[in-house]
Amino acid sequence: MSASELAPGPLTSLSEEEELLRNTVREFAQTVIAPRAADMDRVAKMDPEIIEQCFELGLMGIEVPEELGGAGSSFFMAILVIEELAAVDPSVAVLVDVQNTLVNNALLRWGTASQQAAYLRKLTADTVGAYCLSEAASGSDAFALQTRALEDGAGYRLNGRKLWITNGNEAGVYLIFATVDPALGYRGITGFIVERGFSGFSVGKKEDKLGIRASSTVELVLDDCWVPRENVLGEVGKGYKIAIETLNEGRIGIGAQMIGLARGALNHAKGHVLERKQFGKALSEFQGVQFQLAQCATEVEAARLLVYNASRLKDAGLPFLTQAAMAKLFASQTAERCASQAVEFLGGTGFTKDFPVEKLYRDAKIGAIYEGTSNMQLVTIAKQLLARDVVI
């Protein structure tokens, strides 16, 4: 642990195995990713060597059983990895996050034995995955999607467009949601495993984004894309269940990304105020600065407790819907506040691209948007809270 690192408190302490993983990923992030983060942000492209090393370190298949090439570890371990990567570069963190909490998780829970053998082996070895739900008219109203899946012989033909797809440029395997019959509403939605080389599939426009710029966000074009029947994920018409339950888990991953980001920003700020002098003394000696740092540190620890608690509930097989929504909501708010405060601590230099806090400030905004906006998290929390059998 570096001298500038904020140590977790007792309630967020880790086992020996968890601490070893955290320290390994932290060293990788600081020595390999940090020197390339600014350039990747500038050119808006992930360094292929970083992706390759994420596979080599086993970070792309954390929960996948060892017999399928994965680490056979826990969801909580994945959360630790995401947090550590995000403290240096949230773009790399979301690459690993989507792979583990969405794509791998969906295949582990709903994939057949043959699907798992075929695709999880690839996803742990060298193939990036993407999760494809959103469309132009289907954002918070996720099940308003219009992509169609029509039966055709031994499979289905998919037609439509998917938007804002994370990992879309790098991916080789895509979990795509389409409806077999719009008249059925959400009960027509079905998940499909689509490979990049399938006929009728192509990657379209790449978005030019405010933050997490090295993470690719693209449009996918499905023009009579033929998918064999054996690539239906789960059951026909049960895609809505897969999507909802997978995103509930994914929100914990975004919470981890946001606490990592906030912690990274806070540590940059701490290092600055200890060194920077004004009026003959270090900024850290001013009580106003101390109070602002203390407030940020308190919020980071509170967000970490929410995220860790939700992930451990998930691992224990206990209900975690409300806790996941709270974790994502609060962690994303904390990331924005702490990153903004870090820019202010660094003053004029913090507003330039010469220091990482400017990038972290831009990266923080997405936390309130993807995998369920903050308003949608509030809807979820309120709905659960107001249930008659819930005791506050």
Task: Tell me the pLDDT tens digit for each residue of 66-111.
Answer: 999 999 999 999 999 999 999 999 999 999 999 999 999 999 999 9
- Looking at the fold, whether 259 and 176 belong to one and the same domain comes out as no
Q: Give the DSSP H/E element, type plus range, for residue 173.
A: strand 171-179
| Last residue in a domain, options 204, 237, 270 | 237
> What average pLDDT does the chain have?
94
What band does 12 get if pLDDT is binned at 50, 70 and 90? low
Query: What percent of the chain has pLDDT above 90?
Result: 92
- Contacts (Cβ under 8 Å, ≥6 apart) of 258: 86, 303, 328, 331, 332, 334, 335, 364, 367
- Looking at the fold, whether 245 and 367 belong to one and the same domain comes out as yes
Q: Is the pLDDT of residue 59 over 80?
A: yes
What band does 13 get if pLDDT is binned at 50, 70 and 90? confident
Q: What is the pLDDT of residue 388?
A: 73
| Cα–Cα nearest to 83, from 304, 326, 314, 301 | 304
Q: Is the pLDDT of residue 40 over 90?
A: yes
- Looking at the fold, whether 181 and 167 belong to one and the same domain comes out as yes
Residue 3 lies in a domain: no
Find the length of the chain.
Answer: 392
Paired residues of 235 in beta bridges:
none
CATH code, domain with 201:
2.40.110.10
Cβ atoms within 10 Å, residue 354: 10
What band does 8 get if pLDDT is binned at 50, 70 and 90? low
Q: Is the pLDDT of residue 11 over 70?
A: no
The answer to whether the beta carbons of residues 174 and 160 sit under 8 Å apart is: no
- Looking at the fold, whether 113 and 195 belong to one and the same domain comes out as no
Residue 1 lies in a domain: no
What band does 364 get if pLDDT is binned at 50, 70 and 90? very high
- Looking at the fold, whether 374 and 328 belong to one and the same domain comes out as yes
Q: Is the pLDDT of residue 2 over 90?
A: no
Q: How many CA atoms lie within 13 A of 86 on its CB side?
A: 34
Active site residues: 371
Q: Is the pLDDT of residue 4 over 60?
A: no
Q: What is the pLDDT of residue 1?
A: 40
- Looking at the fold, whether 124 and 134 belong to one and the same domain comes out as no
What is the spatial distance between Cα 108 and Cα 65, in angstroms, rounded to a whole number?
A: 9
| Last residue in a domain, options 79, 96, 128 | 128
pTM over 0.75? The answer is: yes
Residue 121 lies in a domain: yes
Cβ atoms within 10 Å, residue 280: 6
Q: What is the pLDDT of residue 5?
A: 57
CATH code, domain with 122:
1.10.540.10
Range of the domain at 343: 241-385
CATH code, domain with 307:
1.20.140.10
Q: Is the pLDDT of residue 345 over 60?
A: yes
- Looking at the fold, whether 265 and 377 belong to one and the same domain comes out as yes
Beta 217-228 vs 201-206: how paired, if at all? antiparallel
What is the spatial distance between Cα 254 and Cα 320, in angstroms, rounded to a whole number?
A: 15
Q: Which residue has the higher pLDDT, 139 or 353?
A: 353
Find the mean pLDDT for residues 211-216: 98
- Looking at the fold, whether 347 and 372 belong to one and the same domain comes out as yes
Q: What is the pLDDT of residue 140?
A: 87
The per-residue DSSP string of 227-265 comes to: EEGGGEESSTT-HHHHHHHHHHHHHHHHHHHHHHHHHHH
What band does 344 get if pLDDT is binned at 50, 70 and 90? very high
| Last residue in a domain, options 128, 143, 164 | 128
What is the spatial distance between Cα 289 and Cα 232, in angstroms, rounded to a whole number?
A: 56
Q: What is the pLDDT of residue 3?
A: 41
Find the mean pLDDT for residues 17-23: 93
Find the mean pLDDT for residues 198-214: 97
What does the pLDDT look like over 123-170, one tens digit per residue? 999 999 999 999 998 888 888 899 999 999 999 999 999 999 999 999
What band does 227 get if pLDDT is binned at 50, 70 and 90? very high
Find the mean pLDDT for residues 281-289: 94
What band does 10 get if pLDDT is binned at 50, 70 and 90? low
- Looking at the fold, whether 21 and 112 belong to one and the same domain comes out as yes
- Looking at the fold, whether 233 and 284 belong to one and the same domain comes out as no
- Looking at the fold, whether 262 and 376 belong to one and the same domain comes out as yes
Residue 390 lies in a domain: no
Residue 85 vs residues 50, 97, 139: alpha-carbon distances, Å: 11, 10, 27
